[in-house]
Each structure stands twice: as structure tokens, then as C-alpha cells.
Amino acid sequence: MAERELKRRTAPSREAPEVEEEAPASTDKAEKLKAELDDLLDEIDEVLEDNAEEFVRNYVQKGGQ
Amino acid sequence: MAIAKVYGIETEYGIQAVGPREQNPTGAASVLVNAYASERAGAVSWDFDDETPGVDARGYVRETGGAPEVERHLANTVLTNGARFYVDHAHPEYSTPECSSPRQLLVHDRAGELVLQRAMTAARQLLPAGEEIVVYKNNSDGKGNSYGCHENYLVDRTVPFPVLARRICAHLVTRQIYTGAGKVGCEEEGRTSAAFEVSQRADFFEEEIGLETTLKRPIVNTRDEPHSDATRYRRLHVITGDANLSEVATFLKVGVTGLLLLLVEDDAFGERELVLAQPVRAIHDIAHDPTLRTTVELVDGSRLTALDLQWELYGLAAKYADERGLEAVGSDAEGRLVLERWERVLAGLEADPSTLSDQLDWVAKYELIDAYCARHGCDLDDARVGALDLQYHDLRPQRSVYQRLGLERLVSDEEVAAAVHDAPTTTRAYFRGECLKRFAPSIVAANWDSIVFDLGGDPLRRVPMMEPLRGTAEVIGTLFEHCSSPDELLRRLGG
């Protein structure tokens, strides 16, 4: 719990009340993002390279910086 | 004392030649750069006169060994927006012009993507039917080969380098929780444990501090090549970053690092030493844990998560902002935006990282792959997952998974399109860009801190630009209005 206290001290702007308010909103947001992702999955196979195995195997780069 | 920050990003892009013919990567990268440059007036050659990658910030010059070789024969151009577009280590590389704020740099980093897209299109017209060179904005091929995305920050020379290195190291290790671009699989030698990693680059760091950039990569790079007045400035060359597609990630990567450098310059870190006991181990361990629960040890023996450490740094930065303001970030208002977004992202990561899948690269990729595996009943080692991972970074609009995901934007398409041609007006890049737009036929070569003119007859004339924040539109904009020839420009400059 020492870590918790430490955070509270150094980041005073995120006190408990704010967190309580945010909790349901962040769940809503997560749900919404999940739903959008589901729609995207319906069409993602069109975007993927035809032969995924060969594509991944052939993607070899020379090392750089 | 904290000085006004000047920023830049250099990105080495991954490339793949598609088609029946075997192409060597250096040749393919040259085709891209030359195809782009040959279509455009104003692109001129790079001048290598000030390249000294072997100078070490710890106070010595390495005479032999692995310092990067200057590849004089390869494609190498300067563009009218002040950027450098060239071939480096078999990759096309785009260095943004010098920018005076994180947001301006974000615009120019995205403009670099547009330049690469246009280079792909230009190359397609030159290559035989059925051949194409595809560009990826990532940092690893998933097979142990990495290529970089480096940031540059102008720093007050009076800060002793060991102090700078000690202060900034913990940030460079822990910031990956929002700057990471994510990847499937581990590329750290002798380790195979991780399934999904937060960062593309973290596996490739083997030293805490050093001069290398291509092998035994260090977390703090000591290259001392200011490309400006070396008695006043240092250019901190940061090599740990992932190449980001997420605008929020790029904005925070540059904004938070720039902001923390003000604290370093003003010695505002307070009593507590936020110094990691084993930074190399820490950068790997944090990367390997997308739950963000892993703790790392500080020299004082305490253990913190990357989030804890970022909250500590946030607290120090917020205090600094209240006491001294953030003008030196670019403007106080923009500094506040960085702080505000930083806080929001840390809070999101703490509550539930998946709520940031519309903001951060690694989270967006992680959520997509997770959902894909659930739907198809496959594992992370499925080739389709590998393809998703790579294609997240594909710059072709029709193949880009990033584009389909629709992450939050911070800048407009119009701004980005303009930055393909126009330099920032607030740094010396403006002078470079305007000279190239107006007088390209009389310019032999250009680099970060000078332009070389050939006015015919006389010896070549070099115009030095040792101050990154001079040569701005405000100072010399009217000069260009009054100069119809390069001779006149040089005369008025007093050269």
C-alpha cells in the first residue's frame, strides 16, 4: 500500500471522488469500443494479405539504427 | 536553465519489394527516395560537412569502431519543407524539419508518412507491372531485426551530460506504456516468454548508456552532434522510441519528454532519486507485461510499476508547471495540453487499458488481435495474427489496419498535406525551405546547419545557420519578399 500513498501524494489531482465518477463512464466507453471492434472484424479479412503465412515469412528486414 | 525546445523525429521505415524479381533492400529504398525527388522541383542534395556521429557526449571522440558510416553514394535529398529524405542502412529514412512544439512536430511526422505514400506511388510508375515497394512504419520484422525511430531535443549545454542521462533514463524506460506500438512475440536474445509486448523496440536495448545505435543499443545514447552552436547547445538523441501511427502517442512521446527535459535543465527533480537499479532489465520486463503490473527496482531498493514511475514524474512536472510555466515546451498552453493528456492517459491505463484502444498504438493492436483470436479460435502464433501485426503499420491506405481502426486525431489532414511542402515557420527550417522553394537551381547542397550556394564564377558560398530558432518567418520573412535572386539574398544577409 506504500505505493498507493506515494501516488496520492504526488498526483493530487486524481483524488477518489473523480475516480468514482469516472468508473461507469470508462465501462461504457470500453463497451462502445468493443462494439466498434466487432464491426471491424467483419471486414478485416479483406484487408489482410492473401497468403498470410508467406507474407509474414517473407517480411525480413536488414537491421538499421 | 531551461531553453526553448526544438524537436525532430527521424524514422527508418520498413520496406518490402513485392513482385517476381528479387530486389536488394538498399536498391529498393533508393528507388523510393529517387522516385519522390525526381518528381519534385526544389529537392537538393545533402551536404555531409557537419556529420560527426563518432563524437561522444561523455567527452571523447571514437576514432575506430562501429560509428555509422556516411553513405555518400546513396540517395539523399533535402525537401522544400526542410526535411531530409534519404537511404540509411538499407531503409528509407525521413527526418522531419526542426519544429518548435510537440504538435508542430506531430504534423511533420505525419507529413513524412504522406511523403512515403507518395514515394510508393511514384515508384510504382517506374517499376515493371506487377512490382511494387511497400512501406511499413514499424521498428521490427519479428525476426530479431530492428530499425529505429529517433527523437531529437535541443538541450542547454551547461547541463552536465551524466546528470542529464541519470535523470532521463527512468522516463525512457517507462514511457513505453503509452508510446509503445506493440508486437506479437519476443525478440530478446535468450528469452521467449512474452506473447504480446508493449513496445516494438524494447527487446533490442542491451546497455544503459553508450554511443552505438545499430548494435548493443543503449537506453541513453551519447552521440554528441548538436548540428548547432556546440558551445550553447546539446542535441539529445533518443533512440528508444517506437515509430507511432497514433497521434496521441507521438504527441505524448515528444511532449512529455520535452517537458521533463525542462525539469532536468532547471534541476527540478526534487529530493527523491528516480533512478532504476537495472534499467536494461526494467525496459524488457515492462515491455513483456501488457497488464502493466510488473514492478522494477529503484536504486533506493523500492519497487514501482512503470505507471507508478510515470505518476511520480507527472507529479513533478505538474508542480514545475505551476511554479515556472511551460513556455519552453513551445507555449504554455501547449505544455498544459501535454500535461492534461498525460494525466488522462495514465488514469486510463490504471483503470482499464482497453479504454485507450482509440488512442494508443499498442492498446489498439492488442485489443484487435485479442478479438480476432476470440472470433477465429486461433492463437497468437497464427500467421493471420502475424499479418495483422505487420499490416497495422502498412502505409498503403487500402491495406493499413491502423487506418481501419480509426484512432483519435489531434491534427487535420489539411495541416499534414501542407507540411509536405511547407517548412515550420518558427525555426531555421523556414530559411532552408524558402531557399529551396525559390532558389533551388543555385543551391549545391544543404544540411541542418548550413546551405551552400553556387552563384557561378565565384567560390561556393556557405550560409551557416547555427541557431535553430533563427531564420524564422517572423525574422526574415520580409527578406525573401525583397529578394528576387540568390545573389541579392546573400548580399542582404551580409555574406
Asked if the Cβ–Cβ distance from A58 to B16 is below 8 Å, we say yes
Instruction: Give B357-371 pLDDT, tens digit per residue.
Output: 999 999 999 999 999
Cell numbers for B8 = 525532430
> Pairing relation of β-strands B7-12 and B149-156?
antiparallel
Asked if the Cβ–Cβ distance from A61 to B89 is below 8 Å, we say no
**Residues facing residue B95 across a β-bridge:** B10, B84
Residue B454 one-letter amino acid:
D
| Cβ–Cβ contact A65 with B under 8 A | yes
The residue of chain B nearest to residue A37, with distances taken between CA atoms, is B368
Task: Summarize the confidence of residues B448-456 as an average pLDDT.
Answer: 93
Residue B323 one-letter amino acid:
E
Q: Does position A7 have pLDDT exceeding 70, yes or no?
A: no
User: What rounded mean pLDDT belongs to chain B?
Assistant: 93
Q: Is B196 exposed, middle or buried (0-12, 13-18, 19+ CB in 10 A)?
A: buried
Higher-confidence position of B272 and B14: B14
Give the integer Cα–Cα distance in Å for B233 and B236.
Answer: 10
Best CA proximity match to B15, nearest among B23, B6, B5: B23
Least confident of B47-61, B218-232, B363-377: B47-61
Q: Say what the pTM is.
A: 0.93
The residue of chain A nearest to residue B358, with distances taken between CA atoms, is A33
Distance from the Cα of residue A58 to its chain's centroid: 28
* pLDDT, position B62: 66
* pLDDT, position B63: 52
3-class DSSP state for residue B419? Answer: helix
Percent of chain B with pLDDT over 90: 87
Give how far Cα B378 sits from Cα of B53, B124, B367, B369, B461, Å.
46, 35, 15, 10, 64
Instruction: Give B267-311 pLDDT, tens digit per residue.
Output: 999 888 899 999 999 999 999 999 999 999 999 999 999 999 999
Asked if the Cβ–Cβ distance from A64 to B90 is below 8 Å, we say yes
Q: Which residues on B lie below 8 Å from A37 (Cβ)?
A: 357, 367-368, 371
3-class DSSP state for residue B277? Answer: coil
**Mind giving me the DSSP string for B422-481?**
---TTSTHHHHHHHHHHHGGGEEEEETTEEEE--SSSPPEEEE---TTSS-HHHHHHHHH
* pLDDT, position B398: 94
Instruction: Give B32-55 pLDDT, tens digit per residue.
Output: 999 999 888 777 888 887 788 888
What phi, psi does B463 have (nearest 5°)? -100, 110
Instruction: Give B92-141 pLDDT, tens digit per residue.
Output: 999 999 999 999 999 999 999 999 999 999 999 999 999 999 999 999 99
The dihedral formed by the CA atoms of B81, B200, B365 and B105, expressed in degrees to the nearest 10: -20
Q: Does position B68 have pLDDT exceeding 60, yes or no?
A: no
* pLDDT, position B345: 98
**Mind giving me the DSSP string for B161-225?**
HHHHHHHHHHHHHHTHHHH---EES--STT----SEES-SSGGGEEEEEES-SSSSEEEEE-B--
The residue of chain B nearest to residue A55, with distances taken between CA atoms, is B387
Report DSSP state, residue B298: B
Give the integer Cα–Cα distance in Å for B415 and B397.
Answer: 18
Higher-confidence position of B47 and B65: B47
What phi, psi does A21 have (nearest 5°)? -65, -40
Task: Summarize the confidence of residues B154-179 as an average pLDDT.
Answer: 97
- Active-site residue numbers of B? 88
Chain A with chain B: Cβ pairs closer than 8 A: 142
Residue located via cell numbers 533512440: B239
Pick from B140, B304, B399: CB nearest A47: B399
Asked if the Cβ–Cβ distance from A40 to B404 is below 8 Å, we say yes
Instruction: Give A20-65 pLDDT, tens digit per residue.
Output: 444 566 788 888 888 888 889 988 988 999 999 999 999 999 988 8
* pLDDT, position B390: 98
Best CA proximity match to B109, nearest among B100, B119, B121, B97: B97
Q: Is B302 exposed, middle or buried (0-12, 13-18, 19+ CB in 10 A)?
A: middle
CA-based nearest distance A37→chain B, Å: 7
* pLDDT, position A15: 42
Residue B73 one-letter amino acid:
H
Q: Which residues on B lie below 8 Å from A55 (Cβ)?
A: 383, 387, 390
Best CA proximity match to A41, nearest among B393, B182, B399, B371: B371
Band the pLDDT of B230: cuts 50, 70, 90: very high
Give the integer Cα–Cα distance in Å for B316 and B296.
Answer: 20
Distance from the Cα of residue B110 to its chain's centroid: 11
Give the integer Cα–Cα distance in Å for B217 and B177.
Answer: 20
Pick from A9, A52, A63: CB nearest B147: A63
CB A57 within 8 A of CB B143: no
Maximum mean pLDDT: which of A5-19, B41-55, B467-481: B467-481
Q: Which residues on A lie below 8 Å from B347 (Cβ)?
A: 14, 19, 22
Band the pLDDT of B313: cuts 50, 70, 90: very high
Question: Other CB atoms closer than 10 Å to residue B142's CB: what's the count?
Answer: 19
Q: Which helix (H) or strand (E) holds B252?
A: helix B247-265
Give how far Cα B180 sits from Cα of B199, B243, B478, Å.
4, 8, 43
Percent of chain B with pLDDT over 70: 97
Task: Summarize the confidence of residues B319-332 as an average pLDDT.
Answer: 98
Best CA proximity match to B223, nearest among B57, B64, B62: B57
Report DSSP state, residue B157: T
